[in-house]
Amino acid sequence: MEIRPIFSALMRSKVSMILIGVQVAMTLAIVCNALFIIGQRLDHMKRPSGMNEADTFYLGSSGFGQGFDPRATIHEDLATLRHLPGVADATISNSVPMSEGGWSTGLSLQPKQKTSTADTAIYIVDEHALETFGVELVAGRNFKPEEVTDVTFGDRLQPASIIVTKALADKLFPEGDALGKSIYMGEDPPTSTIIGIVDRLQQPWMSSSSIENSTFVPAFMPFGNSSRYLVRAEPGRRDEVMKLVEQKLAESNTSRIIGKVRTMEETRREAYAGDRAMAIILTAVILALLTVTALGIVGMA
């Protein structure tokens, strides 16, 4: 394309030159803003969850009938899951990162504190959680089996020990001395002691401003007759193990329904579907604007 004829045509018509200049300026402004938003969305999508997503999946169990014992079923299911070939570990959990559903609470440093020091997502788990989630323990220790208490759904959580993420530990204790400190889960005693700190673990809610503020609470808490299991397979065996888990749990207890088995990779795709769609749409808008602007300039030749 020769630029000189186009430039000559523009010089013969000052009105056209002004209009093209305005069009180019507006296009550049829109493109720059769109590129900024696209960059934000892509950075959003790259946020690490803190867990082993490639090998991990989860599923729900819902019992029915008067003879169904949810607490006994949980213990039996976990024993079954952990002995299946290809299973690295398994735990019970009320929620998983990026799922958009879960529990949260405020943590305080003083009793009767009017405003909590930090808000956190709550993952109700057992002593196998760290290994199953695949999180990195950077300080302290894991839960002991005797620290996992039986809790009835609806009761207030009063854990003697908790494990928190580094982001939450730094929010509670900016000096970096969170390990071994006691905090209040809510406003009232008793206190919970931070026995461990993990590198990171996202909350279930993607729009959270404190997305890495998460807390592990050691407890067995059936949700009525329902429960959720998180399973980590050995590397490369996830799909194989998913089918086996669904089959074995269905066979082990016919008085319940096994929910859809979902991978963490699938959960991530759904969680960031809006960001992905926005990036694609804005990219299409940029290409369309550049095309229209280029055609307008060429048309002046």
pLDDT tens column, 49-94: 999 999 999 999 999 877 889 899 999 999 999 999 999 999 999 9
User: How would residue 7 be classed by pLDDT, with cut points 50, 70 and 90?
Assistant: low
3 vs 155, more confident: 155
Q: In sequence order, which residues have a C-beta less than 8 Å from that of residue 75 and are 6 or more positions away?
A: 220
How big, in percent rounded to 5, are the helix, strand and coil portions of the chain? Answer: 40, 25, 35
Q: What is the mean pLDDT of residues 157-179?
A: 94
Instruction: Output the pTM of the full model.
Output: 0.85
Residue 165, pLDDT score:
98
Closest CA to 214 of 227, 204, 203, 230: 203
Nearest 5°: the CA angle 88, 93, 98 is 95
pLDDT one-digit tens code per residue, 129-139:
999 999 999 99
User: How would residue 16 be classed by pLDDT, with cut points 50, 70 and 90?
Assistant: low
User: How would residue 13 be classed by pLDDT, with cut points 50, 70 and 90?
Assistant: low
pLDDT one-digit tens code per residue, 209-260:
899 999 999 998 888 889 999 999 999 999 999 999 999 999 988 889 999 9
Closest CA to 148 of 121, 136, 130: 130
Chain centroid to CA 178: 24
Residue 229, pLDDT score:
97
User: How would residue 190 be classed by pLDDT, with cut points 50, 70 and 90?
Assistant: confident
pLDDT one-digit tens code per residue, 249-295:
999 888 899 999 999 999 999 999 999 999 999 999 999 988 888 88
Helical residues (DSSP H) of the chain, grouped into ranges: 3-12, 14-45, 70-82, 129-133, 166-172, 238-252, 264-271, 273-298
User: How would residue 18 be classed by pLDDT, with cut points 50, 70 and 90?
Assistant: confident
51 token code pair: 């867990």
